[in-house]
Amino acid sequence: MKTSLLALGLALAAGSAAADTTLRVHYAIPTIWADTQAALAEAFMAAHPDVTIELDGPAEGYAEGVQRLLRESVAGTAPDVAWVGLNLWRVLEARDLAQPLDAFLPEDPEAQGYTGALLSLGRFENTQYALGTSASTLVAYVNPDLVERAGGSMENFPTDYDGIIELAAKIDALDATIEGVWVSPHDWRFQSFLGAHGGRPMTENESDITFDSDAGVAAATVYSRFASEAGMSTMGQNDARQAFPAGTLGIMFESSSLMTRFAEGAGERFDMTVTPMPIVAADEEVYLPTGGSGIVMLTDDAEKQQAAWDYISFVTSPEAQKIIVETTGYAPTNALVVEDASYLGDFYAQNPNARVAHAQVAQYAGPWYAYPGAEGVAVTDVIAADLLGVVEGADPREAVENLAETTRSMLGFN
């Protein structure tokens, strides 16, 4: 009796080990992702009963998430698959933790909805390390009530920087507590203005800084003019993110991922409207750095890799992308889900703001340049500090040229 029970137990254990693979999945920002991740894991396990998805306790933000992945990899307890910020997967690649995905990619990626622009988000030196899972670009959030009080209208909302600055100055003049326009002095926002003017932060092979071009000066001038002509204050990001939904800020350039949060915050107070980034350069020169998340494979166990790829290809498929778009407000990273109205047609009919943001991603998505090497992250803080100097009145050309020199010496480019 005892032996047969033991045998049965052993057989069960052996059987389950052979048939079942357990994948540990890491993700960050539970305030946005918790429900979505649970829904994705459930949908995946329903389609692949032999694979169990085990979600690690989420990290608070992408930066904390990468720190944890690095610590876990040192300790040998890293998860098999990780959702990471699109600007941070290079940290994992630089430490040989992210596994190349090229062997798993379908022969014709375009047919599966992986367009070249979308693949570029996770590609470095012709190797695919990450696939985008959700995307966001810089958009303008507008408070139509303030626009109207300042004598403008949403029908002729300006589509260039001159018009926006003029309108913002009028909004700013309305009242002591009302501000016209705000954008964070921050690397990603700066890269967005730079890309809209047709510039790039670095050369293709990442051997030199190129934002001290005319496009870079023009991008810094946007900050300078927002401050000098439209009265933009130096208030912090948290303050601005409270001011806009409260109705005391007219125009705010922010990540499209905040759309749901701002719409909820504004509630009935005003009809929050999203307008696209004003584009200055010719379309083929423009790129908008894309934020959001990508997914990387960390496991180097061949058997687990296949299951991991099944999961990765599932979460980047149109079905899963539909779930992500509907629950997070991010733009999708699979072209099929945008092109085929059967997936999100109803959603876009109800969310015209989302259509604006997603169309911008589909048209201009480009990589969020991460500066290479040990000082890569430190450089972004220096950029932010110098942009604040521009907002406070420094000459844009001088500031950008000095910044480029500082950046070059920090990154060891000269």
Partner 1 sequence: MRPRESLTSLVLTAPATLALVIFVFLPVAVVFLLAFTNYQIGAPGLGWVGLDNFEQLFGSRLGRNALLNTLTYVAIVIPASVGLGLLVALGLHALARSMPRLSDVLKAVYFLPVAATLVAMAVSWQMLLHPSLGLINTWSSALGLPAPLWLSDRGLVLYTLSAIGIWQSVGYNMVLFLAGLAAIPPALYDAAEVDGATGGWSRFWLVTWPMLGPTTLFVLVVTAASAFRVFETVATLTKGGPAFASDTIVYALYREGFVYFKAGYASAITVVFFLALLLLTALQVWVIERKVHYR
Chain center to CA of 73: 24
Q: What residues between 274 and 333 interact with partner 1 by CB under 8 A?
A: none
By CB under 8 A, tell whether 176 contacts partner 1: yes
What is d(CA 201, CA 219) in angstroms, rounded to the nearest whole number? Answer: 11
Q: What residues between 382 and 401 interact with partner 1 by CB under 8 A?
A: 384-386, 388-389
Q: Is 21 exposed, middle or buried (0-12, 13-18, 19+ CB in 10 A)?
A: buried
Binding pattern for the stretch 114-153 against partner 1, x by CB under 8 A and - elsewhere = ----------------------------------------
> Which is nearer to partner 1, 23 or 98 (by Cβ)?
98
Are 196 and 222 spatial neighbours (Cβ–Cβ below 8 Å)? Answer: no
Q: What residues between 213 and 272 interact with partner 1 by CB under 8 A?
A: 233-236, 238-239, 242-243, 246, 248
Q: Work out how close the CB of 179 gets to partner 1 at its nearest, in angstroms, rounded to a whole number.
A: 7
Tell me the β-bridge partners of 145. Answer: none
Residue 134's nearest CA partner among 314, 333, 358 is: 333
> Which is nearer to partner 1, 12 or 74 (by Cβ)?
74
By CB under 8 A, tell whether 38 contacts partner 1: no
What is d(CA 222, CA 189) in angstroms, rounded to the nearest whole number? Answer: 11
Single out the segment in contact with partner 1 by CB under 8 A; choices: 62-70, 108-116, 216-224, 281-289.
Answer: 62-70
Q: Work out how close the CB of 402 gets to partner 1 at its nearest, in angstroms, rounded to a whole number.
A: 13
> Which is nearer to partner 1, 343 or 371 (by Cβ)?
371
What are the DSSP calls for 97-125, one per residue?
A: -SPP-TTTS-SSGGGGT--HHHHGGGEET
Q: Work out how close the CB of 121 gets to partner 1 at its nearest, in angstroms, rounded to a whole number.
A: 22
> Which is nearer to partner 1, 34 or 63 (by Cβ)?
63
Among 93, 179, 212, 254, binds partner 1 (CB under 8 A): 179
Residue 101's nearest CA partner among 295, 336, 368, 314 is: 295
What is d(CA 30, CA 385) in angstroms, rounded to the nearest whole number? Answer: 29
In the chain, what is the straight-line distance between the N-terminal and C-terminal CA atoms, in Å?
A: 78
Tell me the β-bridge partners of 252. Answer: 141, 182
By CB under 8 A, tell whether 71 contacts partner 1: yes
Interacting residue ranges for partner 1, rule: CB under 8 A: 63, 67, 69-71, 73-74, 91, 95-97, 176-179, 233-236, 238-239, 242-243, 246, 248, 374-375, 377-378, 381, 384-386, 388-389
